[in-house]
Structure 1
Amino acid sequence: MIEFLNDHINLVSLLWLFPITFMFHDFEEIITIEKWIKRHGEHVKSSVPRFAQKLYNSSFRMNTLHFAKDVLWVYSLIVTVTVLAVFFQFYLPFLATLHVYFFHVFTHAGQSIFLRKYTPGVITAVLPVLPYSLYAYYRLFSDGVVTSQDLTWSLILMVILLPVALTLLIKGRKGYLTS
């Protein structure tokens, strides 16, 4: 299977599969989020610790349009880091964003396990996000595009920038969510 993929997916195609798989994943979330929040939001709020309730408060007030706006910002970031990788061979931002994407699989799986129910995005987190992420890591390393040092620096970049990005995303919601 790996040989087949290696023979039929060149590096540029692999990189552009990132925004494509992201949109498949987020279409599942966009389609299901509003109804799911209306049906399960109160149960979820009562199931999580107070600090998490406050942290995710804006998420519980979102509708499909609000969520789609968040997706647009994240998608724009993913396309930007993909452009940097494809056209300028600058892979650190791509790799840092790929880490978030990969770890996001476990966020979805963890939510579903914790709540013991379907959560928006869990199906496409397992397929296609997880296989794409694993294969992307494999190819980037096996093709010599990135090194273990790149992995370390991109993890550091992710740890530094992820809290900033999440804070900006949540603060940005204040423009369209009211208390």
Structure 2
Amino acid sequence: MTDDQSSVEAAVTLGLFAAWALHDTEEVLTTARWIRKNVPRLRERWPDVPERVWRLMERADGREFTAAVGVMAGIVGAGAVAGWASGGRSATYQAMLNGFGAHGLLHIGQAVAVRGYTPGVVTSPLLVVPFTVWARRRLKRAGVLRPGRARDVVAGVAWAAAATAVSHGVAHRLVRPRS
């Protein structure tokens, strides 16, 4: 182990991947069924949402969603390893950690908006948000946490959005190859 790696425990950096995997297991197990059951009701409740959004949601079947999660596993795993290798200093790792926490808050907000269960809402307040807060505290205690600025939150959310878009794009091509 290098001096950089000893800055924070592996649980802080590699734990991001473990927490993400548990959270996304909930999503894999619930998303396809939830979409089939709830999109008609949501479509009626929010008629101003563009029809294209509803069609995209309905198109995402279980296989494609699971493939997207597999692609995201590689992205999150690489970020967690970058965090571990740098002792938590990696800007990529810290952006991923911030994005993961913001992602958990988004799940909670979605559940509030639909007034019920949404995929990922169980593990968000029990795992995603607490892990993010705990890991940030450990990084701060080790003196490696980058100062928390609004642009860091934006960078974390941007990272999560971009990684999600890439994952779903790759999954779509893998599951539904062009003829």
What TM-score do you get using the length of structure 2 for normalisation?
0.79
Match of 1:82 in 2: 80
Residue 103 and residue 156 in structure 1: after superposition, are their counterparts in 2 closer, same or farther (change >3 A)? closer
The structure-2 alpha-carbon separation of the partners of 1:124 and 1:147, relative to structure 1 and needing over 3 Å to count, comes to: same
Q: Residue 148 of structure 1 aligns with which residue? A: 147
CA distance in 1, matches of 2:113, 2:75: 29
State whether residues 103 and 160 of structure 2, in contact with CA within 8 Å, keep that contact through their aligned partners in structure 1: no
CA distance in 1, matches of 2:39, 2:14: 35
* Paired residue type of 2:70: L
CA–CA separation in structure 2 for the residues paired with 1:128 and 1:161: 20
* Contact kept? 1:58, 1:170, Cα under 8 Å: no
Following TM superposition, by how much is the alpha carbon of 1:167 offset from its aligned partner in structure 2, in angstroms?
3.9
Contact kept in structure 2, 1:92 and 1:154, CA below 8 Å: no
Contact 1:112–1:119 (CA under 8 A) maintained in structure 2:
yes
After superposition, the Cα gap between the structure-2 partners of 1:13 and 1:174, relative to the gap in structure 1 and judged at 3 Å, is closer
1:173 CA displacement: 4.9
- Closer, same or farther: CA 56–170 of 1 in aligned 2, 3 Å: farther
- In structure 2, relative to structure 1, the CA distance for the partners of 1:164 and 1:35 (3 Å cut) is closer
Q: How many residues in Structure 1 have an aligned counterpart in Structure 2?
A: 167
- Would the aligned equivalents of 1:58 and 1:173 in 2 still touch at CA under 8 Å? no
Q: TM-score, normalised by structure 1?
A: 0.79
DSSP 3-state at the match of 1:119:
coil
State the Cα distance separating 1:54 from its structure 2 match.
2.9
Q: Does 1:108 align with 2:123?
A: no
Does residue 14 of structure 2 align to residue 16 of structure 1? yes
Structure 1, unaligned runs of 5 or more: 1-9
Kept in 2: contact 1:105–1:126 (CA 8 A): yes
User: As a proportion of its length, which structure holds more helix?
Assistant: 1
Percent identity, aligned pairs only, is: 20
CA distance in 2, matches of 1:78, 1:95: 11
Q: CA deviation at 1:121?
A: 1.0
1:32 to 2:27 alignment: no
Structure 2: stretches of 5+ with no match in the other structure: 1-7
**Structure 2: distance between partners of 1:160 and 1:132:** 20
Cα distance change, pair 156–41 in 1 and its aligned pair in 2 (3 A): closer
Alpha-carbon offset, residue 86 of structure 1? 1.1
